[in-house]
Amino acid sequence: MHVVNSNGANIPALGFGTFRMSGAEVLRVLPEALKVGFRHVDTAQAYGNEAEVGEVIHTSGIPRADIFLTTKVWVDKYRHDHFVASVDESLKKLKTDHVDLLLLHWPGGSDVPMAERIGTLNEVREAGKARHIGVSNFNTAQMDEAVGLSEAPIATNQVEYHPYLDQAKLLQAARRHGMSLTAYYAMANGKVPSEQLLNDIGARHGKTAAQVALRWLVQQQDVITLSKTATEARLKENFAIFDFALTREEMAAIRGLARPDGRIVNPAGLAPVWDD
């Protein structure tokens, strides 16, 4: 697997995401994901499964230093004292003294000034509780603001990204700051496996449409993608995306699937005004 260098953070390009996974599912599937070879694990306070993620990693036999672990601070914890306490709680659940990446989960849903949020993020990093810091679901203006306010480099912006959603402006902004984009919802809520173009391209490479979509993401410079499945059989499929490459024409054809209504995740009160 290749690694993306994002302002000094060496992030495995393919991660295992745990959004909407129950604790029981994490306990069942994450051990298998680690056996397959996943070494980048993504969770969040809001997912309610940090304790199970921590338990699996702790008992996996894999050195903690070999796993890139991400969690996120929820919007109701952005006030300084709540922020610090919530990170300590996350670390306790995760059975570790640090995470590799700590993100602000959404830009909305809080009246805490961005300067305070970024300041506390830096403070937590300085204390050794997070090796790297980042943001999630920020638009380009918010990325610029976060970078301007932060003493430490901002490593990534975790956002919805798949073939139906054009994120060229956001990716351009990320590159300008030395950041990466970490893609979630890569399967576009189940649309990808039935997309004819992706199936046709996959047939040429002996791959599935899902593998083509994941490959399309990680083949872009400075893009990381999270894959998620509660089906153990699909773990190997999702992981097997580094033994083939898409042609320039195939990359462009997939990019052409993007459409104006391609965004899926847009919760009122949490989401920003997105870039056109």
Annotated binding-site residue numbers for substrate: 105
User: Which residues carry a binding-site annotation?
Assistant: 105
The Cβ of residue 230 has, within 10 Å, a number of other Cβ atoms equal to 15
How far apart are the C-alpha atoms of 80 and 118, rounded to whole Å? 10
How far apart are the C-alpha atoms of 211 and 229, rounded to whole Å? 13
Strands (E), the chain: 3-6, 9-12, 14-17, 40-42, 68-73, 99-104, 130-136, 154-160, 180-184, 223-227
Annotated catalytic residue within 47, 78, 164, 184: 47
78 labelled catalytic: no
Do 249 and 49 form a contact (C-beta atoms < 8 A)? no
Q: How far is CA 127 from CA 120, 224, 225, in A?
A: 10, 27, 28
Dihedral of the CA atoms 56, 62, 67, 72 (nearest 10)? 20
How far apart are the C-alpha atoms of 238 and 247, rounded to whole Å? 20
How far apart are the C-alpha atoms of 172 and 254, rounded to whole Å? 18
- Output phi, psi for 146, to 5 deg: -60, -45
How far apart are the C-alpha atoms of 21 and 48, rounded to whole Å? 9
Catalytic residue ranges: 47
